Amino acid sequence: MKKSGHIRVLVLSNMYPNRDSHFGIFVKDQVESLEKAGVDIIRIVKTRRSRFAYAPFILKSISYLLFGSYDLVHAHYGFHSALFAAIVKRRPLVVTFHRGDALDEPWRSKFYYHTQRLVVNEAVRIIAVSQEIKHSLVKNLGSDIHKIATISCGVNSAVFKPIKDKHKLRKVLSLPKDKPLVLFVGSLSYRKGVDIICKCAELLPNVNFVFVGNGSLKTDLPNCTFVGPKPHHELRLWMNACDVFLLPSRSEGLPVVILEACSCGLPVITSEVGGIPHMITNGENGFTVKTHNPEDYAEIVRDSLADKQKLNLIKRNAREFVRRNYDNRVIANKIKSIYENLV
């Protein structure tokens, strides 16, 4: 039952975590933050990556869109979640574009392109998680620029926070106690630049590289450790155990994992793609690299590890910047304002 004065939002998402994965954890975190901010949420979500999970997700979505009680719809990830809401149009539709739905998928086929244009046209408000996505929505999919708000996903800075005893964490995680550790978290893929990290490892044999995640790109170098995927709530332990976070992606929206690393006070070295340059100011709260040249990344890794004083300043600045600008509560209040203006 709707609480008096509360907005009732139907959230549709084809990516949402279950107990065994953190697939779409950023959507779940945002939803829970909105609930804490006083928004009533009805979730219809797909929690398994399997294509077969789309059938019940779509049927439940259509049923609630037609017969359910809600004030507006907030769909995450383009037409996969938003298409039927765009067709039914019982209530205002808000759509968040996260990356691939705006940058990659419209070019897969004419069907994808035209369904994405339909969603963009029918949405009364669009949330783009980066300026690059906003630009693509306007230039390539014909969106009205005035209905797009650029709001990234957030991070729980009360959970992702610095932990002082690094040596104890390394013992618990079976990591080397006295060697510099560079961390990567994500899919072991070309898009994420894992091949660049492996080349860095060749150039920096005295630095150990730790990879958390699944994928095909791996190396048998002795200074590279692949630990597989880890539960989302454990990532803060790996981040606090390491010295530097490395993400040389070739394409991004605004990766939540960077926000989590910064929130833990882990200095980030990353590429200038997607929304990253709007968050990381080179030399102030992290380090950015203009190229995809492994030698350039290796040089910054080497120099940052050598300058402890600079690294400590970066840690403090990164944590404070995220806490002020990207905490889940800050993001939830921005989205709640959009809801209030629509209802």
Yes or no: say if 42 and 10 are a contact pair by the CB < 8 Å rule: yes
Closest residue by Cα to residue 141 from 128, 160, 154? 128
120 & 196 share domain: no
Residue 125: strand, helix, or coil: strand
Q: Which residue has the higher pLDDT, 49 or 36?
A: 36
**Whole-angstrom distance, CA of residue 283 vs CA of residue 289:** 11
Q: How far apart are the first and last CA of the chain?
A: 17
Domain contains 74: yes
Amino acid identity of residue 15, one-letter, is M
Domain contains 127: yes
**What's residue 6's pLDDT?**
85
Would you say the pTM of this structure is higher than 0.85? yes
**Whole-angstrom distance, CA of residue 82 vs CA of residue 67:** 17
If you average pLDDT over residues 285-298, what whole number do you get?
A: 96
Domain contains 20: yes
Task: Give per-residue pLDDT as tens, 265-284.
Answer: 999 999 999 889 989 999 99
What domain range includes position 102? Answer: 8-154+327-342
145 & 170 share domain: no
Question: What CATH number did the domain enclosing 97 receive?
Answer: 3.40.50.2000
Q: How many CB atoms are located within 10 Å of the residue 43 CB?
A: 14
223 & 252 share domain: yes
132 & 184 share domain: no
Number of domains in the chain: 2
Task: Give per-residue pLDDT as tens, 224-259.
Answer: 999 999 999 899 999 999 999 999 999 887 889 999
**What's residue 5's pLDDT?**
58
Domain contains 289: yes
Question: Can you read off the two tokens belonging to residue 194?
Answer: 């894992």
Domain contains 3: no
Yes or no: say if 289 and 268 are a contact pair by the CB < 8 Å rule: no
**What's residue 2's pLDDT?**
47
Domain contains 159: no
148 & 176 share domain: no
Task: Give per-residue pLDDT as tens, 73-114.
Answer: 999 988 889 999 999 999 999 999 988 787 777 888 899 899
234 & 247 share domain: yes
179 & 301 share domain: yes
Containing 95, the helix (H) or strand (E) segment is strand 93-97
Listed in sequence order, the DSSP H helices in the chain are: 25-36, 54-67, 78-88, 100-103, 110-122, 131-141, 166-172, 194-203, 235-241, 256-263, 294-306, 308-325, 328-342
18 & 85 share domain: yes
Amino acid identity of residue 340, one-letter, is E
280 & 205 share domain: yes
Domain contains 234: yes
Strand partners, 225: 210
Domain contains 2: no
Closest residue by Cα to residue 84 from 49, 51, 55? 55
CA 102 to chain centre: 15
135 & 201 share domain: no
Containing 210, the helix (H) or strand (E) segment is strand 208-212
170 & 307 share domain: yes
Residue 213: strand, helix, or coil: coil
48 & 74 share domain: yes
Of 40-44, 112-116, 118-122, 179-183, the range with the lowest mean pLDDT is 112-116
